[in-house]
């Protein structure tokens, strides 16, 4: 698709932003990143697939059960509907700003950031007119343990199949909604602080890849419990609030047609994860081993 690059940029942000965690009280015995939703008046089941937005080709795999669940569904629902031209236009604006990064920093802070950005293959001059959130994409990109030419976008692969199979494509939120959440969670200074932890993110990323490949949703969720990566305010803005908003929309979508939801794997578990939130509404949500 023509919008591959833009989607990739958004997904790079999402790797870090959408992999938060909270205190987890109810553990799941089954390892699975595919869940079936039924009951509570649904005429046919829907499915939720926990995704890992960006993977290296050597680590990339969409399991057969995930593809079968998508085939059985009428709708393909992503966090954001990247086939909507209006959303793509909003996404482009998301990385633009009216205030240069250097204007928001003292001379010493700007000098320190410029030195730091050298580790990410760029300079303050090159990114000065970008939004602070674009800085976070640099962190995510550096954490991916392979060249950009070897990157695979999990949702993009699913989206291409959904389009080929003529599924209805929907989104759980707008780009403006996501941008609002990001702004509530991260200001420029906190993003710079995260950039200084680049090596720690690389280690974390590798552990998350292994958890994803093993379909260990709980481990994937728990890896980000360390508050060095996300504090309570950031968690509330980027995970809890979004999960609750999504779960408000999901019943109406599932009621009309069988739907396949693809969301970041860290949104599934935890006290305010999508799975317990749906269960609290009376739905039966069970892990899928085979389909």
How would DSSP label each residue in 243-286? Answer: HHHHHHHHHHHHHHS-EEEEEEGGGSSSTTSHHHHHHHTT-EEE
pLDDT in tens, 104-116: 999 999 999 999 9
Give the C-alpha separation, 110 to 77, whole Å.
41
Q: Is 31 or 80 the better-scoring residue by pLDDT?
A: 80
Rounded to an integer, what is the distance from CA 85 to the centroid of its chain? 20
Q: What is the mean pLDDT of residues 42-67?
A: 94
Q: What is the mean pLDDT of residues 130-136?
A: 78
Q: What is the mean pLDDT of residues 38-53?
A: 95
Whether pLDDT at 92 is above 90: no
Whether pLDDT at 2 is above 90: no
pLDDT in tens, 170-192: 999 998 898 888 888 888 888 89
Residue with tokens 């692969």: 157
pLDDT of residue 221: 77
Confidence at 5, pLDDT banded by 50, 70, 90 = very low
Whether pLDDT at 40 is above 80: yes
Closest to 142 measured CA to CA, from 202, 216, 92: 202
pLDDT of residue 38: 97
DSSP output for 198-222: HHHHHHHHHHHHHHHHTT-HHHHHH
pLDDT of residue 134: 79
Q: What is the mean pLDDT of residues 53-63?
A: 92
Whole-number mean pLDDT of the chain?
85
The values of phi and psi at residue 202, to 5°, are -65, -40
Whether pLDDT at 1 is above 50: no
Most confident segment among 194-198, 231-235, 248-252: 248-252
The fraction of the chain above a pLDDT of 70, given in percent, is: 89
Q: What is the mean pLDDT of residues 40-47?
A: 96
Interaxial angle between packed helices 175-185 and 132-143, expressed in degrees from 0 to 180 and rounded to the nearest 10: 90
Whether pLDDT at 14 is above 70: no
Confidence at 67, pLDDT banded by 50, 70, 90 = very high
Domain boundaries defined on the chain: 4-23+32-94+149-287
Most confident segment among 63-72, 141-150, 177-186: 63-72
The region of weakest confidence among 70-79, 181-190, 234-243, 253-262 is 181-190
Name the pairing type of β-strands 75-78 and 34-38. unpaired
Whether pLDDT at 204 is above 90: no
Whether pLDDT at 279 is above 70: yes
* Claim: this prediction has a pTM higher than 0.85: yes
Cα dihedral 107→111→114→118 (10° resolution): 180
């Amino acid at each position: 698709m023509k919008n591959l690059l833009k989607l990739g940029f958004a997904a790079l942000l999402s790797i870090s932003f959408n992999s938060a965690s909270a205190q987890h009280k109810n553990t799941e015995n089954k390892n699975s990143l595919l869940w079936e939703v039924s009951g509570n008046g649904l005429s046919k089941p829907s499915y939720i697939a926990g995704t890992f937005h960006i993977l290296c080709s050597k680590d990339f795999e969409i399991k057969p059960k995930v593809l079968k669940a998508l085939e059985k569904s009428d709708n393909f629902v992503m966090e954001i509907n990247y086939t909507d031209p209006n959303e793509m236009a909003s996404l482009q604006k998301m990385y633009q700003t009216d205030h240069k990064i250097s204007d928001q920093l003292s001379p010493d802070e700007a000098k320190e950031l410029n030195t730091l950005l050298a580790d990410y293959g760029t300079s303050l001059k090159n990114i000065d007119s970008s939004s602070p959130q674009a800085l976070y994409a640099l962190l995510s990109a550096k954490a991916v343990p392979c060249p950009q030419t070897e990157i695979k976008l999990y949702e993009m692969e699913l989206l291409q199949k959904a389009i080929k199979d003529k599924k209805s494509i929907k989104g759980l939120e707008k780009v403006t909604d996501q941008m609002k959440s990001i702004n509530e969670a991260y200001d420029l200074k906190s993003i710079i602080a995260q950039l200084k932890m680049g090596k720690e993110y690389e280690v974390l990323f590798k552990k998350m890849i292994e958890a994803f490949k093993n379909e260990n949703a709980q481990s994937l969720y728990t890896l980000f419990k360390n508050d060095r990566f996300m504090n309570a305010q950031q968690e509330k803005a980027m995970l809890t609030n979004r999960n609750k908003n999504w779960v408000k929309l999901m019943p109406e979508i599932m009621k009309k047609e069988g739907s396949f939801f693809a969301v970041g794997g860290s949104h599934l578990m935890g006290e305010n994860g999508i799975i317990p939130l749906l269960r609290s509404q009376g739905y039966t949500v069970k892990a899928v081993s085979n389909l």
